[in-house]
């Protein structure tokens, strides 16, 4: 009986820690994915979204840099090494039926490290708790956490007062 309770609490603790880790990634404390590699994680609120393979499409203007399916990450393609420094990347992700699309992403996104892609809901994770998110119903985010550099976040939010307006910022994808 005691072993059963201990096992139950261990599972509950493990699941709680997994959810917290997904919602609030600890930047800079993750293992290095490799010298020329980016690992990608997805989330909806506090829940991790998993898929056997996710789809990633990346382009600048009409030039495709990537268009494929990947397990948990990918080798940085040669086409991404000499990108212009003008925040023109267009990234589209699909995982388990969920779609995220980000425009005007900086070329620094292709530094080796981690990408966090998801949709968060109030109360927002620490990285999304600024005053610009105060009235948001949800926030779609793309966060980078390069191994040897500082990262950045691109986001789209749905303001509460516009959540039912079609077309509008809450129905852009």
> What is the secondary structure of 57-110 as a DSSP string?
EEEETTEEEEEEEESSEEEPPGGGTT--SSS-EEEEEEETTEEEEEEEE-GGGG
Helix, strand or coil for residue 113?
Answer: strand
The number of distinct structural domains making up the chain is 1
User: What is the chain's pLDDT, residue by residue, as a tens digit (173 residues)?
Assistant: 444 444 344 333 333 333 343 454 555 567 889 889 999 999 999 899 999 999 999 999 899 999 999 999 999 999 898 888 889 999 999 999 999 999 999 999 999 999 999 999 999 998 898 999 999 999 999 999 998 888 999 999 998 888 777 776 786 54
CA 109, CA 105: separation in Å to the nearest integer?
A: 7
CA 62, CA 85: separation in Å to the nearest integer?
A: 16
CB-CB contact of 119 with 138 (8 Å): yes
CA 153, CA 109: separation in Å to the nearest integer?
A: 10
Which structural domain range is residue 151 located in?
2-171
The two three-digit tokens of residue 170, written as one number? 């809450």
| pTM to 2 decimal places | 0.81
The backbone region for 3, taken as left when phi is positive above 0, alpha when psi lies in -120 to 50, beta otherwise, is: alpha
CA 113, CA 144: separation in Å to the nearest integer?
A: 8
């Amino acid at each position: 009986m005691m072993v059963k309770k201990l096992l139950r609490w261990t599972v509950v603790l493990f699941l709680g820690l997994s959810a917290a880790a997904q919602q609030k990634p600890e930047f800079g404390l993750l293992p290095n994915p490799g010298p020329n590699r980016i690992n990608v994680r997805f989330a909806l609120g506090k829940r991790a979204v998993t898929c056997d393979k996710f789809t990633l499409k990346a382009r600048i203007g009409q030039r495709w840099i990537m268009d494929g399916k990947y397990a948990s990450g990918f080798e940085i393609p040669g086409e991404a090494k000499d990108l212009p420094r003008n925040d023109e990347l267009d990234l589209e992700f699909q995982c388990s039926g969920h779609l995220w699309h980000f425009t005007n992403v900086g070329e620094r996104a292709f530094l080796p490290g981690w990408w966090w892609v998801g949709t968060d809901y109030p109360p927002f994770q620490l990285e999304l708790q600024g005053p610009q998110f105060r009235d948001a119903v949800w926030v779609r985010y793309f966060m980078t956490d390069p191994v040897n550099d500082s990262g950045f976040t691109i986001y789209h939010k749905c303001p509460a007062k516009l959540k039912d307006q079609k077309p509008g910022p809450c129905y852009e994808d």
